[in-house]
């Protein structure tokens, strides 16, 4: 017999209500009353049951393979809710036990609370069944235990403080659960700086709960219910009370001190063996525990200085590589012709960083005969250069691809877990916008979303942008729900997850038409943003690819919704380039995708898990790019040179292609590209086509170390 999910929290609430009414009647019959502390201890459990009722009524609880999860959770929460009603009866029996037995029972209760608190963090986001928490369990138990101990004594041995600590543990677990679902990633310290961005795009996601999330909440509820059974200290005379207060404060401060020492003194990676490979953050969080791994990553925030680094050494390397490039460029007739042409024409430069744009045909046609975006791959045949573009992010972290392109610095040397926009001051950092501004360009950034996302409203002026068009300039609707797919003033077309690519391109063309001054545009699109289960694209435009040999958790509907987005972006790009062709003024277009969507990780695991690690990683950490001009570049060819590169090296290559002046840093990058044509957070590609890890002692290891020193000088010393 089918029982609707909404019935279980409703029944649990009814049981709690019946138990409360019975307790109140019995208490009144004996001349007693129900104190406010009892109500306060019951409140969080009742609110949690009400929350589960609302969520189940909205069909946001999804655990079809675990039908007993919700009823079990509701039963545990109901028991925890009723527990405060039995406190007096339990205490009266407790007092009859021998002292040693009372101590043992209290210790057992505290141990259970501690384990349940840890479980409320780990269980919601763990994918292992049964729940296993192996290598660093002792460390997380100790961290949580010291925190709860500090709260207990600072709260003068009242358990309410511990209850708040348990609630915080549960909040961490649920937050990590949602981040895992939305981004397949772990919460990192830098995410704390990006809470505003996360909130801004949160309307695009469905906050559903599965069996693990529900049972994780039940663990926290049960722990709080147990805490309500801890007897508060008895009242005493004034003098003893002062002594007790002081001793409790001393114990609380001592616990905080031990906790601080445990967090700050040892190196979690070097001394305690907590590891992190940032491509697989979720695996490490599950293997080692949330708190130990989070602390280890926090300690890894500083940009590590290269071994043997000095500013003088780095400056000498920079000068040497830049001189080698400039000497070769001066002897190259084609380069000199392009430079003279650029100085005369000053073409406008449009950079389009297209959200999640990539060619999934690299996954063997998706095992479904997929051949990629039609226009971009087969009809755009007059590019100056094109190829695979290696990036340092996957499924999110757009700002890091943006950072690498605009500054020419690689996340490889900063840390893939970091978001530079969120934690550094860019006022002294050299950036493409400020360099072009110095050449007489007007510099514009366009992104149809909130300007505060990734601190762009603060970072862009520091990087030299004159003007930043954000969502208010596109109609004020950043994220389009299913029922909002209608045009908004000022004449802004929307598609899928927001403002369409076409609307961004139209605004760019409008700004070009309004000002003949050479302009630089950095356009970040929004329409292809996840999630890909919005079902808001006309079915006539959604393909029907069904990958074979795949048993992962990505449905064909999700894949095809994403491919429909790419097809629409492809068509908008076709129209945009058609309009650029007709312009009488010279224009350079640099088009690239910022990263692959989250869903490709599942296909990678299904089809390429037996491949070498470097091939496995490169498959998913790549996008595509193209450089196109509406005029013939002097000394060049518009025959579509195919050359793979990485996003941090793309801007310097583009400047060279169009004959624009390059800084000494960019000149050094161009010289180094002869030996290291691609670089991302996973490693680097040598001129021999092979990929090497950061610690590999290959033929290009010295060049790699030189590049690290140069980039440290160029970025780390300025922030």
Calculate mean pLDDT across residues 541-563. 95
* Percentage with pLDDT > 70 across the chain: 92
* Percentage with pLDDT > 90 across the chain: 68
Res 453: pLDDT: 86
pLDDT band, very low/low/confident/very high, at 480 (cuts 50, 70, 90): very low
Q: Does the structure show a pLDDT above 50 at 19?
A: yes
Domain boundaries defined on the chain? 7-299, 311-718
- Segment 434-465, tens digit of pLDDT: 999 999 999 999 999 988 888 899 899 999 99
Residue position matching structure tokens 């695996």: 283
- Segment 292-326, tens digit of pLDDT: 999 988 887 789 899 999 999 999 999 999 999 99
Burial classification of residue 423, based on how many CB atoms lie within 10 Å of its CB (0-12 exposed, 13-18 middle, 19 or more buried) = middle
Residue in 196, 202, 195, 199 with CA at minimum distance from that of residue 481: 202
- Segment 198-235, tens digit of pLDDT: 666 666 678 899 999 999 999 999 999 999 999 887 65
Q: Does the structure show a pLDDT above 60 at 477?
A: no
Res 479: pLDDT: 52
Provide the mean pLDDT of the chain.
Answer: 90
Q: Does the structure show a pLDDT above 70 at 491?
A: no
CB 405 within 8 A of CB 650: yes
- Segment 569-609, tens digit of pLDDT: 999 999 999 999 999 999 999 999 999 999 999 999 899 88
- Segment 625-651, tens digit of pLDDT: 999 999 999 987 667 789 999 999 999
- Cα–Cα distance measured from residue 41 to residue 215, given in angstroms and rounded to the nearest whole number: 20
pLDDT band, very low/low/confident/very high, at 95 (cuts 50, 70, 90): confident
Res 181: pLDDT: 85
- Segment 332-387, tens digit of pLDDT: 999 999 999 999 999 999 999 999 999 999 999 999 999 999 999 999 989 999 99
Res 283: pLDDT: 84
Q: Does the structure show a pLDDT above 60 at 129?
A: no
Calculate mean pLDDT across residues 405-411. 97
Res 485: pLDDT: 40
Q: Does the structure show a pLDDT above 50 at 8?
A: yes
Helix (H, G, I), strand (E, B) or coil at 516: coil
User: Where are the alpha helices (H) located in 58-86, listed in sequence order?
Assistant: 69-82
At residue 681's C-alpha, the angle toward residues 315 and 616, to 5°, is 145
Q: What count of residues does the chain have?
A: 719
- Segment 104-125, tens digit of pLDDT: 999 999 999 999 999 999 999 9
Residue of higher predicted confidence among 639 and 165: 165
Res 708: pLDDT: 97
Res 674: pLDDT: 96
How many C-beta atoms lie closer than 10 Å to residue 271's C-beta? 9
- Segment 251-296, tens digit of pLDDT: 999 999 999 999 999 999 889 999 876 656 788 888 899 999 999 8
Residue of higher predicted confidence among 81 and 486: 81
- Cα–Cα distance measured from residue 575 to residue 564, given in angstroms and rounded to the nearest whole number: 17
- Cα–Cα distance measured from residue 244 to residue 239, given in angstroms and rounded to the nearest whole number: 9
Tokens linked to 404: 């690498």
Res 126: pLDDT: 85
Tokens linked to 626: 């193209």
Q: Does the structure show a pLDDT above 60 at 483?
A: no
User: Where are the alpha helices (H) located in 417-530, listed in sequence order?
Assistant: 420-423, 432-438, 456-463, 501-514
- Segment 173-206, tens digit of pLDDT: 999 999 888 877 788 886 776 676 666 666 667 8
Res 489: pLDDT: 45
Res 2: pLDDT: 63
- Cα–Cα distance measured from residue 503 to residue 506, given in angstroms and rounded to the nearest whole number: 5
Element (H, E) at 349: strand 348-354
- Cα–Cα distance measured from residue 22 to residue 315, given in angstroms and rounded to the nearest whole number: 80
Helices 701-714 and 311-330, packing angle to 10 deg: 110
Calculate mean pLDDT across residues 402-431. 90
Backbone angles phi, psi at 626, to 5 degrees: -155, 140
Res 238: pLDDT: 46
Domain 311-718: assigned CATH number: 3.40.720.10
Tokens linked to 153: 């004594």
At residue 80's C-alpha, the angle toward residues 79 and 81, to 5°, is 90
Contacts of 311 (CB under 8 A, 6+ apart): 713, 717
Residue of higher predicted confidence among 608 and 489: 608
Q: Does the structure show a pLDDT above 60 at 482?
A: no
- Out of 67-71, 127-131, 458-462, 610-614, least confident range: 127-131
Tokens linked to 10: 């409703």
Q: Which long-range contacts (CB under 8 A, 24 or more apart) does 291-295 make?
A: 291/121, 291/139, 291/140, 291/143, 291/144, 292/136, 292/139, 292/140, 292/143, 292/268, 293/136, 293/186, 294/186, 294/187, 294/188, 294/189, 295/143, 295/263, 295/268
Four-point Cα dihedral 408, 412, 414, 420, nearest 10: 60
Backbone angles phi, psi at 624, to 5 degrees: -150, 160
Q: Does the structure show a pLDDT above 50 at 59?
A: yes
């Amino acid at each position: 017999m089918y029982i609707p999910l909404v019935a279980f929290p409703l029944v649990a609430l009814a049981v709690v209500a019946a138990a409360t009414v019975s307790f109140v009647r019995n208490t009144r019959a004996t001349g007693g009353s129900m104190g406010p502390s009892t109500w306060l201890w019951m409140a969080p459990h009742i609110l949690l049951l009400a929350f589960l009722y609302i969520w189940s009524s909205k069909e946001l609880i999804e655990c079809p393979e675990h039908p007993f999860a919700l009823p079990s959770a509701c039963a545990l929460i109901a028991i925890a809710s009723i527990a405060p009603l039995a406190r007096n009866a339990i205490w009266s029996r407790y007092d009859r036990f021998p002292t040693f037995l009372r101590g043992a029972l209290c210790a057992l209760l505290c141990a259970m609370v501690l384990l349940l608190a840890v479980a409320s963090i780990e269980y919601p986001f763990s994918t292992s069944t049964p729940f296993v928490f192996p290598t660093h369990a002792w460390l997380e138990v100790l961290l949580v235990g010291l925190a709860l101990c500090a709260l207990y004594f600072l709260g003068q041995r009242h358990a309410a403080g511990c209850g708040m600590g348990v609630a915080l543990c549960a909040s961490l677990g649920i937050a990590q659960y949602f981040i895992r679902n939305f981004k397949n990633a772990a919460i990192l310290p830098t995410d704390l700086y990006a809470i505003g961005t996360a909130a801004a795009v949160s309307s695009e996601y469905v906050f559903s709960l599965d069996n693990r999330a529900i049972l994780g909440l039940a663990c926290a509820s049960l722990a709080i219910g147990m805490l309500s059974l801890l007897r508060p200290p008895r009242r005493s005379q004034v003098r003893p009370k002062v002594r007790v207060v002081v001793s409790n404060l001393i114990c609380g401060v001592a616990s905080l001190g031990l906790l601080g020492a445990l967090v700050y003194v040892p190196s979690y990676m070097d001394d305690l063996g907590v590891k992190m490979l940032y491509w697989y953050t979720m695996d490490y969080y599950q293997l080692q525990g949330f708190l130990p791994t989070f602390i280890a990553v926090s300690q890894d925030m500083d940009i590590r200085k290269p071994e043997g680094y000095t500013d003088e050494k780095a400056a000498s390397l920079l000068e040497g590589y830049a001189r080698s490039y400039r000497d070769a460029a001066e002897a190259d007739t084609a380069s000199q012709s392009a430079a003279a042409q650029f100085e005369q024409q000053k073409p406008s430069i449009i950079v389009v960083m297209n959200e999640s744009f990539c060619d999934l045909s690299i996954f063997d046609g998706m095992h479904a005969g997929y051949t990629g975006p039609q226009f971009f791959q087969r009809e755009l045949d007059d590019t100056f250069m094109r190829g695979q573009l290696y990036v340092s992010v996957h499924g999110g972290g757009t700002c890091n691809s943006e950072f690498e392109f605009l500054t020419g610095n690689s996340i490889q040397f900063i840390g893939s877990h970091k978001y530079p926009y969120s934690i550094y001051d860019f006022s002294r950092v050299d950036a493409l916008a400020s360099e072009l501004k110095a050449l007489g360009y007007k510099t514009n950034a366009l992104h149809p979303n909130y300007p505060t996302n990734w601190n762009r409203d603060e970072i862009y002026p520091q990087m030299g942008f004159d003007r930043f068009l954000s969502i208010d300039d596109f109609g004020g609707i950043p994220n389009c729900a299913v029922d909002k797919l209608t045009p908004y003033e000022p004449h802004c077309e929307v598609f899928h997850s927001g403002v369409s690519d076409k609307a961004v391109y139209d605004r760019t063309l409008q700004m070009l038409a309004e000002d003949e001054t050479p302009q630089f545009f950095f356009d970040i699109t929004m329409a292809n943003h996840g999630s890909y289960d919005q079902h808001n694209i006309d079915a006539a435009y959604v393909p029907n690819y069904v990958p074979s040999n795949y048993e992962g958790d990505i449905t064909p509907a999700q894949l095809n919704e994403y491919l429909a987005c790419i097809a629409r972006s492809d068509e908008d790009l076709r129209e945009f380039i058609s309009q650029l062709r007709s312009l009488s003024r010279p224009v350079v277009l640099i088009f690239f995708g910022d990263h692959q969507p989250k869903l490709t990780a599942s296909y990678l695991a299904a089809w390429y898990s037996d491949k070498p690690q470097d091939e496995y990683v490169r498959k998913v950490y790549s996008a595509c790019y193209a450089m196109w001009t509406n005029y013939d570049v002097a000394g060049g060819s518009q025959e579509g040179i195919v050359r793979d590169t990485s996003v941090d090296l793309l801007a310097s290559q583009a400047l060279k292609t169009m004959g624009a002046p390059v800084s000494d840093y960019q000149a050094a990058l161009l010289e180094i590209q002869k030996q290291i044509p691609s670089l991302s957070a996973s490693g680097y590609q040598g001129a021999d086509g092979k990929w090497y890890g950061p610690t590999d002692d290959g033929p290009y290891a010295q060049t790699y170390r030189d590049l690290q020193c140069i980039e440290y000088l160029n970025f780390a010393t300025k922030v």
